[in-house]
Amino acid sequence: MSALDSAPAMADAAEIERLQEAARRIRVELVRAVNHARAGHLGGPLSAADLLAALYFHVMRIRPDEPAWPDRDRFVLSKGHSSIALYAAMALRGYFPVEELLTFDAAHSRLQGHPDMTRLPGLDMSTGSLGMGISAAMGMALGARLTGRNVRAFVMLGDGECQEGEVWEAAMAAPRYRLDNLVAIIDHNKLQQYGWPGDGPDGRIPPQVPGELAGKWAAFGWRVLEVDGHDMPAIVRVLREAERGDGRPTVVIAHTVKGKGVSYMEGRYFWHTRAIKPEEFEIAMTELGETGAVEGAAR
């Protein structure tokens, strides 16, 4: 636990403020990169930003200057389409220069549309085909135990992704091995790419009914923790709680808002992936606190 101690054991007000600023920067940089690439996803990356800030800037034991450090905590972005949020978190944390984010999605870039671990040091798994990351993370948690390493495996899933059967294969298998070093975080932003028609926002309904995810994961033998995925002190508390293993894998159901931080994107399913217009980009930057930093908007 020595590396952990280098971060404040208790998240005091200053630390929370630092994490909130990291989350803001993640949002700014990811919107900038997606705007520059004229491609990529927005809604999911924005809903995941606070969780990623807490993980990469406070919770995980990592060494950005030694990305292959064997005893690092592992992170798998099972919802691989939110790659740009992960890249932004990694860049801001020091894995690579922030300017490289503008290569996102480009040919020859290390920052592929979906995470490619063979290109970018620090990525612990390639993902993109949904439902798979949790299995890989389970293998990391199990592998850590077999090799005697004090390593935790974190995996972030989308709520829509939980429609994939493999998620539940892993959910059934992990408790058998009492993998309490495995933490699944569900970015429960209540929207998927298109979803079922109904009386929800824009005529689409959420991937699950209220309480459905918690009930299912509990039934599969997981310890279920819920949190407001945009309340930084609460996120830090819940991830600290997740560290205290009780013999079960833990799932953190993080209630989030798709598109969080950009008013016109919030709760709108069609911002799952969509090109930003120049005037929209300016509004987004302003709302994210980046006044006078809108270079690239005129493209």
String marking each residue 131-150 x if it binds other proteins according to CB under 8 A: xx-xxxxxxxxxxx-xx-x-
Q: What DSSP string describes 75-103?
A: EEESSGGGHHHHHHHHHHHTSS-GGGGGG
Query: Interface with other proteins includes 108 (CB under 8 A)?
Result: no
Query: Judged by CB, which is closer to other proteins: 70, or 210?
Result: 70
Nearest to 52 by CA among 28, 82, 32: 82
Looking at beta carbons only, is 74 or 268 nearer to other proteins? 74
Q: Residue 217: how many CB atoms within 10 A of its CB?
A: 24
Burial status of residue 239 (CB atoms within 10 A of its CB: 0-12, 13-18, 19 or more): buried
Q: How far is the CB of 97 from other proteins (least distance, A)?
A: 25
Closer by beta carbon to other proteins, 172 or else 219: 172
Residue 117 within binding range of other proteins, rule CB under 8 A:
yes
| Shortest Å, Cβ 70 to other proteins | 8
Kindly state whether residue 109 participates in binding other proteins, applying the rule CB under 8 A.
no
**Residue 32 CB contacts under 8 Å (≥ 6 apart), including other chains:** 101, 102, 285, 296
Using alpha carbons, list the distances in angstroms from residue 134 to 8, 158, 185, 186, 237.
29, 11, 10, 11, 23
From 12-20, 165-173, 230-238, 254-262, give the range in contact with other proteins by CB under 8 A: 165-173
Q: What are 273's two structure tokens?
A: 């992936």
CA distance between the termini of the chain: 47
Q: In terms of CB distance, is 116 or 187 closer to other proteins?
A: 116
- Residue 123 near residue 117 (C-beta atoms within 8 A): yes
Residue closer to other proteins (CB basis): 140 or 235: 140
- Nearest approach in angstroms of CB 169 to other proteins is 4
Tell me which stretch binds other proteins (CB under 8 A): 43-51, 99-107, 112-120, 215-223.
112-120
Contact between residue 41 and residue 273 where contact means Cβ atoms under 8 Å apart: yes
Other beta carbons within 10 angstroms of residue 198's beta carbon come to: 10
Q: Is 140 helix (H, G, I), strand (E, B) or coil?
A: helix
Residue 116 binding other proteins, by CB under 8 A? yes
Per rule CB under 8 A, is residue 63 in the interface with other proteins? no
Q: How far is the CB of 180 from other proteins (least distance, A)?
A: 16
**How many Cα atoms within 13 Å fall on the side-chain side of residue 31?**
33
**Is 162 a residue that touches other proteins (CB under 8 A)?**
no
Please classify residue 202 by burial: count the beta carbons closer than 10 Å to its beta carbon, then call 0-12 exposed, 13-18 middle and 19+ buried: exposed
Tokens, residue 34: 């997606």
CB of 260 to other proteins, least distance (A): 28
Q: Is 166 among the residues that bind other proteins (CB under 8 A)?
A: yes
Name which position in 108, 176, 244, 299 contacts other proteins (CB under 8 A).
Answer: 176
Instruction: Kindly determine how many residues on this chain lie close enough to bind other proteins according to the rule CB under 8 A.
Output: 38
Q: Residues interacting with other proteins, by CB under 8 A?
A: 70, 74, 76, 116-118, 124-129, 131-132, 134-144, 146-147, 149, 151, 153, 165-166, 169-170, 172-173, 176-177
